Amino acid sequence: MRKKNGWTRLRSKSRIKQLQTQFQDISFYGDAQDDSKLATELQRSLPLIQQEWDHCADVKYQHMHVQGVPVCLVFINGLIDQNSAQRGIMEPLTEYDEEPVTISGLKDALRSMTVQCETKLLSIHQAIADGKVVILVDGQPESLLVDVNQFPGRAVEISQNEPTIQGPQEAFIESIQANLALIRKFLHTPKLKVETQRLGTESNIQMAMVYIAGIVKPSLVDEARKRIARIHIDGMVSSNQIREMIGDAPLSPFRMTENTERPDRAVAGLLQGRICFVIHGTPGAVMVPTVFVAGLISAEDYYSHYMTAVPLRILRHAMYWASLLLPSLYIALLSYNQDLIPTPLLISLEAQHEGIPFPTVIEALGMQTAFEALREAGLRLPRAIGQSVSIVGALIIGDAAVNANIVSPGMVIVVAAAGVASYTIPSQDLVNTNRLLQFPFMIAASLLGLYGIVALGLMMITHMVSLRSFGVPYMAPLAPFSWPEMRDTLFRAPWWAMNKRPSVYEPIDSTRSSTPRPTPPSGDAT
């Protein structure tokens, strides 16, 4: 490798320093070098704005006079709060009585609103797109940008994909301001840092990187800034785009980022020393780094007694592997390893397969494909009938297939059991990964029996151990093994025992709590 010269090292240090100080905004036009300024005369500046927003019927131009001076208000109808604009802008302007009319005077008159001065056309266009009202005054080289935006959206609702019986019921929505407020609702501290950036040369969507200073590792924040700075795309419409662009191991079926729609889970990740990405228009947050065991942890575990959470976590780990391996084990035992099945059960299973015209592997692949089709149909149909169609359809098709001697009853039971086991997994990413990996395991079982399952399983585990999420081993704390970290993996220790943050994230402040173990009061105290 060629050694860097002094000029290259200087440029590298300059780039790192630039990333550490601020996020670089991608401009509205994808050209950050446009420094065109606003003209002083209204009749010259307004056509420049009208030309850029030509054929935009929802852009409105409100003309008026303030003390005889022509003034124009530019805004996008539908993106502003009409009541706030009327009370905070129109009424103060109509009542303005000072002479001469200046930008500073108008700014003082609008002191009840969030107002800033701007001269660059690029920033003015961006403000219009963001739902702000731009005030142009004849004879003034500056404009006023008044923040009265009100994007259409829904109210905060109950989490649909990560429900809990106990604990908070609020979920993220599509508004980045509301989502950041939900996070700050839990963390009342100035150490919670929010860095914003624009993504997409056409969509220009706002994205926020959230972390807690003093807990998160600084090099992790620098790495996140670098990966975000490398994104160059025309439109950003979902968080999955960011996940695929900043995640490690892009060819792996396992996701190296974690997605959540619960603010309390996002806050828990921040307190562990992780980073959250909140994207405007996406009802969720992306957390990095992530580990495998995080996908098997439910928010319900932290709102119930720790002794209750232990068996449920063990059950989820067992169901994860059951959902992946049940169909392939059934194929291997019936096709190659019948000696491992008790004789009475083997006789019953063989009797069920009499008259079935297909080999066991074809039978399994067909049933698994039919189950996935029913599951997908249930998602696409209206919610009121989707679940009924998927459940009733599975019962009817399974019963009809058994009566027609196309599949055996045992195969229907195994495929249904694997499907039910997958519903116990909290992470939808792990569920989708298992749905994909079931088919290679079934094919391996049909070719080599249990040896094929073991061989493919070793390959999968080797691959999982080799994965890294922002430098953190994906299988930590199982590999590399760390006994202190096991207190919040296969089981959950009581809160007073979890006094340290997970060391896999290398937090600066590793102390989470110094609360002693609860003890009953002594006889003298009572």
Buried b / exposed e over 197-226, threshold 16 CB at 10 Å, is: bbbbbebbbbbbbbbbeebbbeebbebbbe
Per-residue CA distances from 456 to 108, 250, 443 (Å): 71, 20, 10
Residue 469 pLDDT grade (very low, low, confident, very high; cuts 50, 70, 90):
very high
Average pLDDT over residues 398-416: 85
Query: Does pLDDT of 74 surpass 60?
Result: yes
Q: What is the predicted pLDDT for the residue at 383?
A: 66
Sign of the Cα torsion 482, 488, 492, 494 reads positive
Per-residue model confidence as pLDDT tens digits over 92-125: 999 888 888 889 899 989 988 889 999 999 999 9
Mean pLDDT of 453-464: 96
Q: Nearest 5°: phi and psi at 343?
A: -55, -50
Q: Given this model, what pLDDT does residue 217 score?
A: 95
Judged by average pLDDT, the poorest of 21-30, 80-89, 467-476 is 21-30
- Span 297-311, mean pLDDT? 90
Nearest residue to 125 via CA among 232, 27, 219, 229: 27
The backbone torsions φ and ψ at residue 372, rounded to the nearest 5 degrees and listed phi first, read -65, -35
Per residue in 170-195, pLDDT (tens digit) is 999 999 999 999 999 999 999 999 99
- Is the CB of residue 70 less than 8 Å from the CB of residue 63? yes
- 20 pLDDT more than 70: no
CB 496 within 8 A of CB 516: yes
Question: How much is the average pLDDT of 54-64?
Answer: 92
pLDDT for res 23: 44
281 neighbors 177 (Cβ within 8 angstroms): no
Residue 286, pLDDT above cutoff 60: yes
Tokens of 506: 């290398």
Mean pLDDT of the chain: 86
Token pair, residue 305, equals 């007694």
**Rounded CA separation 283/173 (Å):** 4
> What is the model's pLDDT at position 320?
95
Report residue 30's pLDDT band, with 50, 70 and 90 as the boundaries.
Answer: very low
Residues 6+ apart with CB under 8 A from 44: none
Instruction: Please report, for residues 130, 145, 206, the alpha-carbon distance to residue 203 in angstroms, rounded to integers and kept in the order given.
Output: 11, 20, 9
Q: How confident is the model at residue 388 (pLDDT cuts 50, 70, 90)?
A: low
Largest alpha-carbon pair distance within the chain?
102
Q: Is the peptide bond before 163 cis (omega within 30 degrees of 0)?
A: no
Torsion of CA 441, 445, 447, 450, to 10 degrees: 130
User: Is 140 within 8 Å of 102 (Cβ atoms)?
Assistant: yes
Q: Above pLDDT 70, what percent of the chain?
A: 90
Angle (nearest 5°) at CA 369 between 367 and 371: 70
CA distance 288 to 225: 12
Give the model's pLDDT for residue 523: 61
pLDDT at 220 over 60: yes
> In whole angstroms, what is the distance from residue 143 CA to residue 97 CA?
19
pLDDT at 173: 92
Q: How far apart are CA 238 and CA 241, in angstroms?
A: 6
pLDDT higher than threshold 70 for residue 389: no
Angle subtended at Cα 487 by Cα 482 and Cα 490, rounded to the nearest 5 degrees: 90
Q: Which of 261-265, 396-400, 519-523 has the highest mean pLDDT?
A: 261-265
The predicted pLDDT at position 490 comes to 84
The predicted model gives 367-393 an average pLDDT of 75
Per-residue model confidence (pLDDT) at position 524: 56
Residue 373 token pair: 């089709």
Q: What is the pTM of this model?
A: 0.83
pLDDT at position 15 is: 47
Measured CA to CA in angstroms, residue 93 lies from 10, 66, 352 at distances of 52, 7, 84
* pLDDT number for residue 476: 92
The band of 426, judged by pLDDT with boundaries at 50, 70 and 90, is very high
The answer, yes or no, to whether residue 344 has pLDDT greater than 50, is yes
pLDDT at position 384 is 62
| Residue 120: DSSP 8-state | B
Whether the pLDDT of residue 19 is over 50: the answer is no
**In terms of C-beta density within 10 A (0-12 exposed, 13-18 middle, 19 or more buried), how is residue 417 classed?**
middle
> How far apart (Å, rounded) are the C-alpha atoms in residues 108 and 100?
14
Of 77, 56, 15, 506, nearest to 272 by C-alpha is: 506
pLDDT at 161: 85
